[in-house]
């Protein structure tokens, strides 16, 4: 959160302003969030949903890193595999036993 937003909230609370008044100041300052009446930050608004936020239908699986692919797998013997990881895009070559020989950044 930008310091100006924190200052608006803190000064508003200190001066006894209503949540609505604080939210108005936040909006005028360019904030893309607002406070709930209980004082917390609100969830997604209908406008934000309309702008493109889409709820996930299922929980995403755990992210696989390059080291997760660099393990022996007999099913991958004598093959190449292209993978996208947080570290980058790689082409992994496996030997006749399914051991990874090399991973080349593509």
CA 12 vs CA 77, 95, 101: distances in Å? 65, 65, 61
Mean pLDDT across the chain: 83
Same domain, yes or no: 38 and 77 = no
pLDDT > 70 fraction of the chain, expressed in percent and rounded: 76
Same domain, yes or no: 70 and 34 = no
Number of neighbouring beta carbons within 10 Å of residue 93: 14
Structural domain includes residue 59:
no
pTM above threshold 0.85: no
Structural domain includes residue 7:
yes
Query: Diameter of the chain by CA atoms?
Result: 73
Structural domain includes residue 57:
no
pLDDT digits (tens, 9 = 90+) for 31-53: 888 887 764 445 666 676 667 66
For residue 23, the enclosing domain spans: 3-50
Number of domains the chain contains: 2
Taking only Cα atoms into account, the Rg of the chain, rounded to an integer number of angstroms, comes to 25
pLDDT digits (tens, 9 = 90+) for 51-74: 766 666 666 678 889 999 999 999
Structural domain includes residue 42:
yes
Structural domain includes residue 58:
no
Structural domain includes residue 60:
no
Same domain, yes or no: 70 and 42 = no
């Amino acid at each position: 959160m930008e310091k100006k937003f924190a200052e608006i909230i803190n000064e508003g609370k200190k001066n006894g302003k209503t949540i609505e008044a604080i939210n108005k100041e936040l909006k005028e300052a360019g904030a893309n969030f607002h406070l709930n009446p209980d004082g917390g930050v609100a969830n997604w608004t209908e406008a934000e949903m309309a702008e493109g936020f889409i709820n996930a239908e299922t929980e995403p699986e755990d992210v696989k890193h390059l080291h997760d692919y660099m393990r022996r797998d007999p099913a991958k013997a004598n093959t190449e595999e292209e993978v996208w990881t947080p570290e980058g895009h790689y082409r992994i070559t496996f030997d006749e036993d399914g051991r990874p020989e090399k991973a080349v950044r593509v």
